[in-house]
Every structure is written in structure tokens, then in C-alpha cells.
Amino acid sequence: MYPVLLLALLWDSRYLDGLREQERRSRAEDPVDGVHFWTKARVRVYTIVLAFLLVCGLGACVLGLAGLFGDSAVLRGVLAGTLVLALVTLLVRVFGEVVRATRDSS
């Protein structure tokens, strides 16, 4: 499931190409049309951290199933948190894409 989430978050619907083409100036640089929080630098860090967590989560699942380390409440919590973060991010992206695609063009 983690690889599918990773693909959906990063490569589906040309996400990285669209991000590269966007103007995402901060509110300080552009008081009228600037973004408050999600500047390109913050999107970059968030996306890289999320991808890192998903890859590490996949590795932890495989290594745990292989019996290289035991089950623990901490491990379950970290993996569940990673999964929730990925799913919420995917939900927000889907919501944003649907709203943008169906917005009235007038």
C-alpha cells in the first residue's frame, strides 16, 4: 500500500511538473497574490519528508514481516501515524484537484 500512496502523491497527475510551473511567492514578496504558508521551499521539504517516511514505513513493514525485529507499540504508532499523514495529504490533494478542475472559469 505504501508504494501506491507514494506514486499517487508524487507522480500521478503530473504533480511535480505542475509544481515546477506554479508561481508560489510568499505573502511578504507579493502581498496581493502570495501564499501564506505553502511556499515552494515548504512544499519541497514536506514532500521529501513524506516520501522519506513512506519509504521507511515500507521498509519497516517488510523487515518486521521478515522477523528482523519484534512488534512494539511504538513501531505500530509510528507506522499508523505515517499512514494517516499520507492519507490526509492524499485526501487534501484530491480535494484541491477536484475543486480546481471544476471551478467556474468565469
**For residue 9, is pLDDT > 70?**
no
pLDDT of residue 1: 65
Contact at 8 Å (CB) between 50 and 9? Answer: yes
Phi/psi of residue 35, nearest 5 degrees: -90, 150
Q: Which one is predicted more confidently, 97 or 83?
A: 83
Contact at 8 Å (CB) between 86 and 54? Answer: yes
**For residue 11, is pLDDT > 80?**
no
pTM: 0.70
Phi/psi of residue 71, nearest 5 degrees: -75, 145
Q: How confident is the model at residue 39 (pLDDT cuts 50, 70, 90)?
A: confident
pLDDT of residue 51: 84
